[in-house]
Chain A
């Protein structure tokens, strides 16, 4: 088991290297475009372009260019944006990351707990009113666009009913750091968490219900029932345990992508300056160093969460452990 985990971590390092090389090549070795000019941004002075070319070593061979770029990103961390004059890129990402992580972690806890509750309850009350009601609610959750739901909740909690007892506790929009006051941090994020989680509770709840219903056709469920186990034990220890395997796969994907910036809409609606928003602004300005940094950051999280999911597999499914 330890060996398979170490093996997986080794693969992770390899994949990260591959991604960094690929991203570098796409940005700086695309034929027919001058990377120095692109880093300098639109309407840059000729001197700036020359300085960048020398600074990034664009007149030297590709491997050297790659090494310089990685050094600027990870070692000296002084990659600077030329669109926003002299702004260092790495500290920007570092400032945005905790915001996105706070948002996505909280939402993830909500959606895992919520969707397991929905899926299990629906599967246990299969084909009854409760099951159908839950599935309709889940479908509504899936269909509501996140920006619409966010704006609606903002309208209710920040404006219409802000002065009533219901929502007077809601702080103004924008992120409040955890270490400045955990309670305030929590209150700021509760509504964004729900907004982001609604979609995933819907998807995961429906998928889990389908998996559970399918699992109930399996022989080992019949064996478990023939053993005289209670219905809740059959559900939780046997059926749910098996259905969690595909659930975990989906979770790893979605979680990685969200931490990597896919929570953009939620961030924008609630004024949270997270990584998604940072990437979005860099795209608008064609701020190449910033885009490079955020892409590296995002792929790092996708790869790490995928590795974590694989390790979790080894823990929950003995069949993937090597002998």
Chain B
């Protein structure tokens, strides 16, 4: 856990462990995850599908089914402990101080209500304002996220808007009560590339305007490089590497991060016949090895990897891997070549 000396953390997660009950008993999906987010910061959590990124955040918000999900650990939001909080109090935080932007704007809005109505509904849940005042705020928000013709757009149903427009509406809704923290669960995955860029710019601009911290979940390294202040790499329910964006992109410490970097298509130079990929599949929850979870797919795996990997640190930059020092530099160069070393 790296402390942030400058600011007191807005959100502080310590030892979060999430397990699901399944036919074969309890299955651990998230194993001892710790991180913190400072006010106004953009933290990105990257990893493949199924690495537990979304589950982590849903359990922070209490949105998992409590009957089948068991959450342990300590989560403090502005020093209030979210996991022990009664549902009624947690509801007062959700939507007001923590906003959620979900992955697929196509399905994230209730189809039978206009977007203006849905934004106003959230405002009126948390603030004692009239219907018309809430609708007026909704129009302002829609204008702020760059919807053309916001006054007309508020009377549109979700199916009448394009994907990008819908995602903007979802973002406007998440921002409607000026949340201190925005949780964005792969906000650009379902959008096409040009719209992705617009939505990312929007998020950056809104962070400056509204001052919200953002947790950005994604599997897109390009997105991370563009917007994040700090990056956490997640694999099989554990955070395997954490550091600032610069650190993680320039001197990645974990072989899994190397694999992710190597799979980014180069923009210039000759076209590669095949994009490098990480062989194999991530383990499913319940079949995660007790040692390093990445070892079965790792080119550099050794006997020591059967034990739980140690934390290697380099200032604030840390990784869960046995590799260190000179050897790490050499192996990294063999994977990433000149690209990073230069």
Chain A interface residues (CB < 8 Å from chain B) = 127, 218-220, 222-230, 233, 237-238, 241-242, 316-319, 323
Contacts and interface: CB of A to CB of B under 8 A. Distances in A.
6 contacts: A223-B100, A223-B109, A229-B121, A238-B110, A318-B159, A319-B111
Contacts of B160: 323
A228 B91 contact: yes
Interface string B116-153: 00000110011000000000000000000000000000
A36 B67 CA distance: 70
A316 to B, nearest CB: 7
B102 A222 contact: yes
A229 B176 CA distance: 14
Contacts of A218: 107
A233 B95 CA distance: 14
Nearest to B67: A127
B81 interface: no
Contacts of B99: 226
B114 to A, nearest CB: 8
A127 B112 CA distance: 28
A89 to B, nearest CB: 45
B170 interface: yes
Which 10 A-B residue pairings sit nearest by Cβ, starting from the closest? A228-B95, A226-B100, A219-B107, A227-B95, A228-B94, A227-B122, A318-B157, A220-B110, A228-B91, A219-B108
Contacts of B170: 223
A319 B61 CA distance: 31
Given A228-B125, A319-B159, A220 B108 contact: yes
A242 B112 contact: yes
B112 A241 contact: yes
Interface of B: 58, 61, 63, 67, 91-96, 99-100, 102-104, 107-112, 121-122, 125-126, 157, 159-160, 170, 173
Binding site of A, secondary structure by majority: helix, strand, loop or mixed?
A: helix
Nearest to B103: A219
A223 B110 CA distance: 9
The residue among A223, A237, A241, A323 with the most chain B CB atoms within 10 A of its own CB is A223
Contacts of B102: 219, 222-223, 226
A323 B157 CA distance: 11
A225 B63 contact: yes
Contacts of B125: 227-230, 233
Contacts of A220: 107-111
B126 A228 contact: yes
B121 to A, nearest CB: 7
Contact of B112 (A224, A225, A230, A317): A317
Contacts of A242: 110-112
Contacts of B112: 241-242, 316-319
Nearest to A231: B87
A226 B94 contact: yes
Contacts of A225: 63, 94
A224 B119 CA distance: 10
Contact of B110 (A228, A230, A241): A241
Nearest to B119: A227
The residue among A225, A228, A229, A323 with the most chain B CB atoms within 10 A of its own CB is A228
A237 B124 CA distance: 14
B159 A230 contact: no
Nearest to B160: A323
B110 A226 contact: no
Contacts of B122: 227-229
B104 A227 contact: no
A229 B90 CA distance: 11
Contacts of B94: 225-228
Contacts of A223: 100, 102, 108-110, 170, 173
B126 A224 contact: no
A22 to B, nearest CB: 37
B66 to A, nearest CB: 12
B63 A226 contact: yes
Given A220-B111, A229-B122, A242-B110, 5 more contacts: A222-B102, A223-B100, A233-B125, A241-B110, A318-B157
The residue among A220, A317, A319 with the most chain B CB atoms within 10 A of its own CB is A220
B100 A230 contact: no
A230 B91 contact: yes
Contacts of A222: 58, 63, 100, 102, 108
Nearest to A218: B107
